[in-house]
Amino acid sequence: MENQIYKTVVIGGGAAGVFSAVKCSEYYPPGRVLLLEKSRKLLSKVKISGGGRCNVTHSCFIPAELVKNYPRGSRELRGPFTQFQPQDTIDWFQHRNVELKMESDGRMFPTTDDSQTIIDCLMDAAENVEIQIGQHVDKILSEKEGFSIHLRSGEIVKTESLIIATGSVKAGHELARSLGHTIIPPIPSLFTFNIPESPLEHLSGVSVEEAVVTLPEFKREYKGPLLITHWGFSGPAVLKLSAYCAKELFNCDYQTIMKVDWVPHISEDKLRQKIAERKQNSEKKTVSNDPIVHLPRQLWKALVQQAGIDGILRWNHLSKSQVEKLLTCLKHDPYQISGKTTYKQEFVTCGGVKLSEVNFKTMESKRVPNLYFCGEVLDIDGITGGFNFQAAWTTGWIAGSHAGGW
Ligand SMILES: Cc1cc2nc3c(=O)[nH]c(=O)nc-3n(C[C@H](O)[C@H](O)[C@H](O)COP(=O)(O)OP(=O)(O)OC[C@H]3O[C@@H](n4cnc5c(N)ncnc54)[C@H](O)[C@@H]3O)c2cc1C
């Protein structure tokens, strides 16, 4: 490594770093692009991603639609997605004999259902990249002719251009800060809500296909599948809210009220009418055993109980105030959120290098020439479904192209 000036050095051997190094190496003879990784393993997050299957991307091919899945970065990624988007990811892997398949919800995985397929493919593609593992970058100096990279081992590496792809770790942010960049403080995104002593705890595992979850304090709501867990709530509606309200939830220390509309497709008036009909026509049936909406049976019973309605109470004995309580439980069911839980070990953070300081046509820093960023080191995060890797491939591809002198 010493005594040679590299064309490009990439710091970080995750999805974004490896992808950018591969792209960049296309422009040079072998050995002119160096990748430095502090741990002993490359692509360790790819390995464990998607439950070991690696959710590589999402089958969403219109940039204007795709960006809607990024709570932070949606405006900035619009241009990059016209350069490299999920179809390009599919083609890139297919060109290297890796087929991706789509699941019913749009997530895309290798047909082998094994993340090692993706790792092997990326490592084969990186054959012209010099890779050094166990090399922790401690300091970077920007110089007239490029950069001096100081390693913990004491070695100094020189390069003409530099790509920082250090993910969401603080040490990587410090490297960017030392070069004059602003860091938006990292905070968690993409988590599930804790509801201590939830009255629905015994229904853990029960889900509804479509509910609307609202955080009234932040005036945000999302419609989607909702899953009851033994610690609270999970599922796409909750995960989306957690990502879009990441900052607000962090600021209130994850203590706020959420409300659930369990039957968003039926209006309150319609429900009122259905109840009135039941009171007239089903007087012998108990409320608990005669649901008026399509919900899992145990959930209906729990909501009826939550409304303070006795299990043996018949429809025709339902009082006005009980009707109102039942409507509240169906349409505005309140729960006190108190804390959060990581979603399937998928630690996604928002925060990182401030986006206005980066040129998204090239991924080059607006502050330091020949310095590029890609992946999670930027203040970009996507919701679950393959969007985070797509951001890594896209920004990595562009950074690699331009650092390579495209
Ligand atoms: C359990 C889990 C599952 C996930 N599953 C999915 C999924 O299925 N689909 C999806 O889209 N997203 C998923 N994600 C998110 C996705 O993994 C990340 O968005 C993505 O890996 C970010 O890639 P990156 O290259 O920017 O950062 P990273 O993968 O974090 O890579 C950064 C690398 O830089 C190295 N590094 C840091 N500092 C230094 C330094 N000073 N010197 C040298 N090296 C350094 C680190 O060791 C690391 O290897 C998952 C995340 C987790 C944790």
Q: Note the pLDDT of residue 311.
A: 85
CA dist., res. 291 & res. 108, Å (int): 38
Nearest-CA residue for ligand 1 atom 10 is 386
**Sequence ranges of the domains in the chain:** 5-188+347-403, 191-342
Identify the CATH homologous superfamily for domain 5-188+347-403.
FAD/NAD(P)-binding domain (3.50.50.60)
- Which among 388, 390, 393 is the best mutation to test ligand 1's pocket, defined by most ligand atoms within 8 Å of the CB? 388
Strand partners, 256: 337
Tokens 């004491």 correspond to 154
Chain segment 105-131, per-residue pLDDT in tens: 999 999 999 999 999 999 999 999 999
Q: Residues with Cβ within 6 A of ligand 1? A: 11-17, 36-39, 44-45, 48-50, 54-55, 136-137, 165-167, 169, 171-172, 345-348, 375-376, 386-389, 392
8 A C-beta contact, residue 32 and residue 8: yes
Q: Is the pLDDT of residue 283 over 90?
A: no
* Contacts with 187 (C-beta within 8 Å, 6 or more apart), sequence order: 246, 247, 250, 349, 350, 351
Helical pair 44-52 and 115-125, crossing angle rounded to 10 deg: 150
- Mean pLDDT along residues 298-309: 96
Atom index in ligand 1 nearest the CA of residue 12 equals 34
Chain segment 165-184, per-residue pLDDT in tens: 999 999 999 999 999 999 99
Q: Is the pLDDT of residue 282 over 80?
A: no
- Please choose, from the candidates 284, 390, 295, the residue with its C-alpha nearest in 3D space to the C-alpha of residue 65: 390
- Mean pLDDT along residues 10-27: 98
Cα–ligand 1 centroid distance for 238 (angstroms) = 23
pTM for the full predicted model: 0.91
Q: Is the pLDDT of residue 405 over 90?
A: no
Atom index in ligand 1 nearest the CA of residue 374 equals 26
* Contacts with 169 (C-beta within 8 Å, 6 or more apart), sequence order: none
What is the signed CA dihedral for 25, 27, 33, 38, rounded to 10 degrees?
Answer: -40
Tell me how crowded residue 5 is: count the other CB atoms within 10 A of its CB. Answer: 12
What is the three-class DSSP state of 369?
A: coil
* Residue 1 confidence class, pLDDT cut points 50, 70, 90: low
- DSSP for 108-154, please give it: EEETT--HHHHHHHHHHHTTTEEEEES--EEEEEEETTEEEEEETTS
First CA to last CA across the chain, in angstroms? 25
Chain segment 218-253, per-residue pLDDT in tens: 999 999 999 999 999 999 999 999 999 999 999 999
CA dist., res. 250 & res. 344, Å (int): 20
Chain segment 310-336, per-residue pLDDT in tens: 989 999 999 999 999 999 999 999 999
* Contacts with 375 (C-beta within 8 Å, 6 or more apart), sequence order: 12, 14, 15, 16, 17, 165, 167, 391, 392, 395, 396
Tokens 């012998």 correspond to 284
What is the signed CA dihedral for 385, 389, 390, 391, rounded to 10 degrees?
Answer: 120
Q: What angle do CA 224, 291, 277 make, to 5 degrees?
A: 115
What is the three-class DSSP state of 280?
A: helix
Distance of CA 264 to the CA centre of its chain: 25
Cα–ligand 1 centroid distance for 376 (angstroms) = 7
* Contacts with 376 (C-beta within 8 Å, 6 or more apart), sequence order: 14, 16, 167, 168, 348, 349, 352, 388, 391, 392
Q: Cα-atom radius of gyration of the chain, to the nearest Å? A: 26
Cα–ligand 1 centroid distance for 332 (angstroms) = 38
- DSSP for 375-395, please give it: GGGBS-B--TTTHHHHHHHHH
Between 42 and 312, residue with greater pLDDT:
42
Atom index in ligand 1 nearest the CA of residue 345 equals 1
Nearest-CA residue for ligand 1 atom 22 is 376
8 A C-beta contact, residue 223 and residue 268: no
8 A C-beta contact, residue 63 and residue 81: yes
Chain segment 332-359, per-residue pLDDT in tens: 999 999 999 987 766 778 899 999 999 9
Q: Is the pLDDT of residue 137 over 80?
A: yes
